[in-house]
Amino acid sequence: MGKATPLKASYRFWAAAIVLLAFGLRLLDASHRSLWFDEAIEYLTASTSLAHLPAAIISLNYQPPLFSFLLHGWLLAGIHPLWLRYLPLILSLFTLLGMMQLTRVVASRRAALLAGLITAVLPTDLYYAQDLGEYSLLVCCLTWSLFFLYLACDHNRWRDWLLWMLFSLLAVYAHYGAAIVVAPLALLTLGGHGWQRRWTAVRRQLAVMGLALMVSWPLFVYFLPFQIRRVSETAFAYTLAAPLHEARLLASGVADALAYQLIGWPISAVPRWTVSLTLGVAVLLWLWRGRRVEKRPFIWFLAVYLFYFLLVRQGLYLGFGMRYGLIFTPFFILIAALLLAELWLAKKAVAAALLGLLLALSLYATPHPTLSQLFRRAPAWSPTEQMEPVFRYWRQQARPEQPTFVYYGAVPAFRYYLQYYQMELPAFQPSPYVECTAVLRTPTCQTYNLFYSRWVRSLTAEEQVADLAQTMGGAPEQFWLIFAHVHQGEDEALVTLLQSRYQIEDHFRSHGADVYLFTRK
């Protein structure tokens, strides 16, 4: 093998430095948060036996099964919170590597380093690298899918077509939203090959697309029919408005998606106008230098976004921005890196200033508790449901004769910490959402005198008090009540109503979680 050129050696050095920076930022405060509701649901689903795992995914999850199966294997090595979060952290690092590879083949090594640096500090990528869920897996698979699609379109090799199919399938098996990217790009590139009379490419792409459809049948036949309830309620419930109004929604949707990813808006409370300004600068850059930049990423993004916009407007996808817009993460990073790399050639100082502004915005909006306090004197991104301190307090203070009622939003995380502290005994039920009522008592329920609330979000406070008494087999003289993941002050309403019959003997609060000890008056 020949010796590396100075340019290649420099690229490898800076690429390695960016990866180390990304790893450090993703590891920072990784164990600061307790596992919250969604993460605990993921854990309890994946901890089900392999035979019962598909049924658990259908009953507890609205997304495809890939992450649950991946986490099921990951749990074989342990259930420590930091170990659990290493899974999305590693996937996030593979996203960064994929973004650098994609940007390098589209443009240059300089653009690849810029893409890597943007990815390393991107607030949403940092947040989901520490969140036990499918979003880090989704963005990772979509990034590599785009990379191999780009190679396949350029070189028409079987290897690239098959790897594009593989990562596209993995993305769809991770999150249904991935199909919003995969489907229009497949049709767009297939049509382009036909228009250019590249018939070999057409045949190969059709072959892998047909194979992908066959491999996808478990999703459409087994999982999706049971999971489509949430979307089916709003499907085709909306009609398109006047063209000018739709055009405004189209533009604001892009801004919302970018605002969440770049500054964590509205969670981080960083002003949205900062993103509008950034978007305006990007448009000006495109008008000035865009003709010199590779056009395909822009065309691909527009095709995907138009498809996404129509789905949202027809009620077939859940909304603009927030986590629903994470499917655009690879496009945003790629386009930003391409424009900055092109500007670097013409106006280096301006490009450096814009890059600095982009990085400063990302760091200012960081989800880390440590950096959030340092940069903006604000708490970390929600949700921060600190169940573990509440659980430890209950464990130390509760006596065996005192029953404990765990409110529905606290049940998943409470059960995780029962298992983490090796307190949960083998259950009678294979379902991860074990019932603990006056009628149905598992060994764990009996040992610790536990009662688990059913999902009561739709009930009034009066109805919830009645449900509490029914679950516990009557109104006890004294009991513990544990809250987390509450909705619109429902805990306060319930506590206020209970105080007409009970007095509060003890109360411990951690961020987003509470435990009360009530004694009858």
Using only the alpha carbons of the chain, give its radius of gyration.
Answer: 25
Q: Is 168 within a domain? A: yes
Q: Is 55 within a domain? A: no
Q: Are 326 and 475 in a shared domain? A: no
Angstrom distance (rounded) from CA 442 to CA 9: 61
Q: Is 54 within a domain? A: no
pLDDT tens digit sequence for 325-369 = 899 999 999 999 998 998 888 888 888 988 998 898 888 888 888
Tell me how far CA of residue 37 lies from CA of 17, 92, 281, 416, in angstroms: 35, 21, 39, 10
Angstrom distance (rounded) from CA 511 to CA 308: 36
In which band, very low, low, confident or very high, does the pLDDT at 433 lie, cut at 50, 70 and 90?
low
Q: Are 298 and 174 in a shared domain? A: yes
Q: Is 287 within a domain? A: yes
* Percentage of the residues of the chain whose pLDDT score is greater than 90: 63
pLDDT tens digit sequence for 401-428 = 999 999 999 999 999 999 999 998 765 5
Mean pLDDT throughout 134-156? Answer: 98
Q: Are 160 and 257 in a shared domain? A: yes
For residues 258 and 489, the model is more confident at 489
For residues 151 and 253, the model is more confident at 151
Taking 80 as the threshold, does the pLDDT of residue 8 lie above it?
A: no
Q: What is the pLDDT of residue 392?
A: 98
Angstrom distance (rounded) from CA 358 to CA 269: 17
Mean pLDDT throughout 272-296? Answer: 73
Q: Are 303 and 322 in a shared domain? A: yes
3-state SS string for 135-194: HHHHHHHHHHHHHHHHHHHHHCCHHHHHHHHHHHHHHHHHCHHHHHHHHHHHHHHHHHHH
* Percentage of the residues of the chain whose pLDDT score is greater than 70: 91
Taking 50 as the threshold, does the pLDDT of residue 30 lie above it?
A: yes
Flag the least confident range among 182-196, 310-324, 345-359.
Answer: 310-324
Taking 60 as the threshold, does the pLDDT of residue 2 lie above it?
A: no
Q: Are 372 and 392 in a shared domain? A: no
Average pLDDT, the chain: 89
CATH number at residue 443: 3.40.50
Q: Is 42 within a domain? A: no
Angstrom distance (rounded) from CA 186 to CA 167: 13
Taking 70 as the threshold, does the pLDDT of residue 297 lie above it?
A: yes
Q: Are 491 and 351 in a shared domain? A: no
Residue 115 is encoded by which pair of tokens? 């893409």
Mean pLDDT throughout 279-283? Answer: 71
Number of structural domains found in the chain? 2
Which of 376, 402, 425 is the last residue in one of the domains? 376
Give me the helices (H) in 421-517, please: 443-448, 461-472, 490-498
Which of 353, 376, 399 is the last residue in one of the domains? 376
What spatial distance separates the first Cα and last Cα of the chain, rounded to whole Å?
A: 83
Q: Is 193 within a domain? A: yes
Mean pLDDT throughout 257-272? Answer: 77
- Please state the pTM of the whole predicted model: 0.92
Q: Are 371 and 438 in a shared domain? A: no
Q: Are 288 and 397 in a shared domain? A: no
Taking 90 as the threshold, does the pLDDT of residue 258 lie above it?
A: no
Flag the least confident range among 13-22, 230-239, 317-326, 388-397.
Answer: 230-239
Q: What is the pLDDT of residue 438?
A: 85
For residues 350 and 292, the model is more confident at 350
Q: Are 425 and 359 in a shared domain? A: no
Q: Which amino acid makes up residue 417?
A: Y
Q: Is 52 within a domain? A: no
Q: Is 207 within a domain? A: yes
Domain hosting residue 513, numbered range: 387-520
Flag the least confident range among 52-61, 418-427, 456-465.
Answer: 418-427
Which of 376, 402, 421 is the last residue in one of the domains? 376
Q: Are 114 and 182 in a shared domain? A: yes
Sequence-separated (6 or more) residues with CB below 8 Å from residue 142: 167, 171, 178, 181, 327, 329, 330
Q: Cis omega before residue 266 (within 30°)? A: yes
Matching residue, tokens 């690298």: 129
Q: Rounded to the nearest 10 degrees, what angle do helices 81-106 and 6-27 cross at?
A: 150
Return the ∠ at Cα 433 (arms to 391 and 315), rounded to 5°: 110
Q: Are 346 and 447 in a shared domain? A: no
Q: Are 391 and 296 in a shared domain? A: no
Mean pLDDT throughout 369-377? Answer: 81
Q: What is the pLDDT of residue 1?
A: 42
